[in-house]
Amino acid sequence: EDQVTQSPEALRLQEGESSSLNCSYTVSGLRGLFWYRQDPGKGPEFLFTLYSAGEEKEKERLKATLTKKESFLHITAPKPEDSATYLCAVQKRDNDMRFGAGTRLTVKP
Amino acid sequence: SQTIHQWPATLVQPVGSPLSLECTVEGTSNPNLYWYRQAAGRGLQLLFYSVGIGQISSEVPQNLSASRPQDRQFILSSKKLLLSDSGFYLCAWRGDSKDSPLHFGNGTRLTVT
């Protein structure tokens, strides 16, 4: 069965303390892996798309990487404004995007 | 640029009452449109999607229905709400490229009492 699992469920960091979020998937025929940021009470905001193993994307303090089984979202020297829930999603076929439950990140000043 | 509007932001409805949530997209034509539901601690669940006017695909059989009366308008409805319909409903659009990302509205928090 196709699954998308994110870990940890919640992560608390001190400002400046780098870490990584994990998204593991068991999907055959992956067409793309997407990362989103979601603030409380808001819709998810698109961050990155990764298409093939070995691919990397960067945006400010965030860097996303992809292997054949998982993706990592690396956060370097996070700031309190990086606090949010980070969602990953995998696309298997047209209009079939499966989301993980998310990692809730809190960055303390 | 493209924008997506979703309303209302919050809604409290009694069990058995009807529901209508509306979503409109600006700045693009013939978008693919989606309704998702998000439950606390769980991933987004796809409810319906539409690739064109009057074309609706249902992913989960349930108490809800969707309609697309205009190119950039997507409506989620129910004739009689259940307690289990409570949740955070999100509308999203995607462009023509089948691997392009979803772009979400800000959601509707529905509480059925």
Domain spans, chain A: 3-108
Distance between CA atoms of residues B48 and A58, nearest Å: 32
Grouping H, G, I as helix, E, B as strand and the rest as coil, residue A81 is: helix
CB atoms within 10 A of CB A47: 19
Mutate which of B97, B102, B103, B109 to test chain A, going by most A C-beta atoms within 10 A? B102
The least confident of A32-36, A74-78, A91-95, B91-95 is: A91-95
What are B34-48's pLDDT values in tens digits? Answer: 999 998 777 899 999
Name the token pair of A3: 């699954």
State how far residue A101 is from chain B, nearest Cα, in angstroms. Answer: 4
Grouping H, G, I as helix, E, B as strand and the rest as coil, residue B85 is: helix
What would the mean pLDDT of A26-32 be, rounded to a whole number?
A: 85
Distance between CA atoms of residues A98 and A90, nearest Å: 5
Binned at pLDDT 50, 70 and 90, residue B98 comes out as: low
Question: What is each CA distance from A53 to A42, A49, A97, B80, B81, in whole angstroms?
Answer: 31, 12, 18, 46, 44
Domain count, chain B: 1
pLDDT at B80: 96
Domain coverage including residue B42: 3-112
Q: Is the pLDDT of residue B99 over 80?
A: no
Q: Is the pLDDT of residue A85 over 80?
A: yes
pLDDT at A109: 96
pLDDT at A95: 72
Say yes or no: B11 contacts chain A, CB-CB below 8 A. no
Contacts 24+ apart (CB under 8 A), B47-53: B47/B76, B48/B76, B49/A95, B50/B74, B51/A95
Q: Is the pLDDT of residue B79 over 70?
A: yes
Residue B47 main-chain phi, psi, to 5 deg? -100, -55
What would the mean pLDDT of A98-104 be, rounded to a whole number?
A: 94
Distance between CA atoms of residues B25 and B102, nearest Å: 13
CATH code at position B94: 2.60.40.10
Distance between CA atoms of residues A25 and A30, nearest Å: 9
Q: Is the pLDDT of residue A63 over 90?
A: yes
The least confident of A70-74, A80-84, A105-109, B47-51 is: B47-51
Distance between CA atoms of residues A79 and A81, nearest Å: 5
State how far residue A43 is from chain B, nearest Cα, in angstroms. Answer: 4
pLDDT at B39: 86
**CATH 3.40.50.300 is right for the domain spanning A3-108:** no
Q: A71 CB contacts (<8 Å, ≥6 apart)?
A: A22, A23, A25, A33, A35, A50, A64, A65, A88
pLDDT at B2: 86
Say yes or no: B93 contacts chain A, CB-CB below 8 A. no
The better pLDDT of the pair B60, A53 is held by: A53
What would the mean pLDDT of A2-22 be, rounded to a whole number?
A: 96
Name the token pair of B82: 């259940």
pLDDT at B61: 64
pLDDT at A30: 84
Question: What is each CA distance from A99 to A1, A50, A59, A106, in whole angstroms?
Answer: 14, 15, 21, 21
Binned at pLDDT 50, 70 and 90, residue B100 comes out as: confident
